[in-house]
Amino acid sequence: MATRRPVKRRPLLVGVIASPADLRCALALREAPDLFELRLDCLIDILKQAERKMSILSAPAIITARDPREGGMGNLSARQRAELLLRFLPHAKLVDVELRNARRFEALLERVRKQRIQRILSLHDFKSTPSPRTLRAKAAEAKAHGADIFKIAVRIETPAALAQLVDLVIDKNLKIPLSAMGIGKLGAISRLLLARCGSALNYGSLQRTHVEGQLPIDVLRSALRRSNC
């Protein structure tokens, strides 16, 4: 019997909602992205408003409540982050939890699986570019924990580091869909190139950028329309 090949996924555009202004912009967009990401750790002051507006967003939602060790706001505890995710779970198409927290959030992730919500396990390194060997090992670890997508956001300061990340995105032997993006000196160009090379999820700003290298959503949309890596 022939081996069944995995279905190739189209790279998706994600609009990041991480402020009240982002939420207003998301609701007013003429052309919606494929998905919105709700950074719940950034929306603590408007949770009730965000919850009310979920049903009228023009695209499905990724929800995440980022760990402070990976750029999360408000210094929220693991328990507080889990409570936020559970609160917004009925509105979610995907849930993003840091790979380092996969065991701690195991019960929550199993509940997510049973509800047929996709699971993203993520790694954010704002200081360095992990080696390709390390990133492949992390991808395998994410797969072992049941992730549907492995997301990495790492510092990219040199062309060599960018080339390594491109090689990872186009690697047909990787056993899990990869969402990859750069932070830092070459962050912006990395996001354009990785989007065109097939990064599964590509995150753009709706108002101001929230991390170094993040691009406006319209710029990423144009890059995806020219995907040809």
Nearest by Cα to 221 from 188, 193, 197, 195:
195
Could you tell me where the beta strands, DSSP code E, fall in the chain? 12-17, 35-39, 61-64, 92-98, 118-125, 149-155, 178-183, 201-205, 215-216
Nearest by Cα to 39 from 81, 69, 7:
81
Q: How far apart are CA 15 and CA 35, in angstroms?
A: 6
209 within a domain of the structure (yes/no): yes
Say if residues 186 and 156 touch (Cβ distance below 8 Å): yes
7 within a domain of the structure (yes/no): no
Pick the range with the lowest mean pLDDT from 17-26, 100-109, 217-226: 217-226
The Cβ of residue 48 has, within 10 Å, a number of other Cβ atoms equal to: 8
The total of structural domains in the chain comes to 1
Q: How far apart are CA 203 and CA 224, in angstroms?
A: 12
5 within a domain of the structure (yes/no): no
CATH number at residue 93: 3.20.20.70
Q: Is 151 a catalytic residue?
A: yes
Write the pLDDT tens digit of every residue in 145-191. Answer: 999 999 999 999 999 999 999 999 999 899 999 999 999 999 999 99
Q: How far apart are CA 113 and CA 100, in angstroms?
A: 18
Sequence letter at residue 184:
G
Q: Which domain holds residue 161?
A: 12-224
Sequence letter at residue 163:
A
6 within a domain of the structure (yes/no): no
112 Cβ partners below 8 Å, 6+ apart?
89, 95, 119
In this prediction, residue 114 has a pLDDT band, given cuts at 50, 70 and 90, of very high
229 within a domain of the structure (yes/no): no
Q: Is 124 a catalytic residue?
A: yes
Q: Which of 127, 151, 172, 175 is catalytic?
A: 151
Average pLDDT over residues 64-71: 97
In this prediction, residue 213 carries a pLDDT of 84
In this prediction, residue 198 has a pLDDT band, given cuts at 50, 70 and 90, of very high
In this prediction, residue 223 has a pLDDT band, given cuts at 50, 70 and 90, of confident
Q: Which of 8, 48, 114, 124 is catalytic?
A: 124
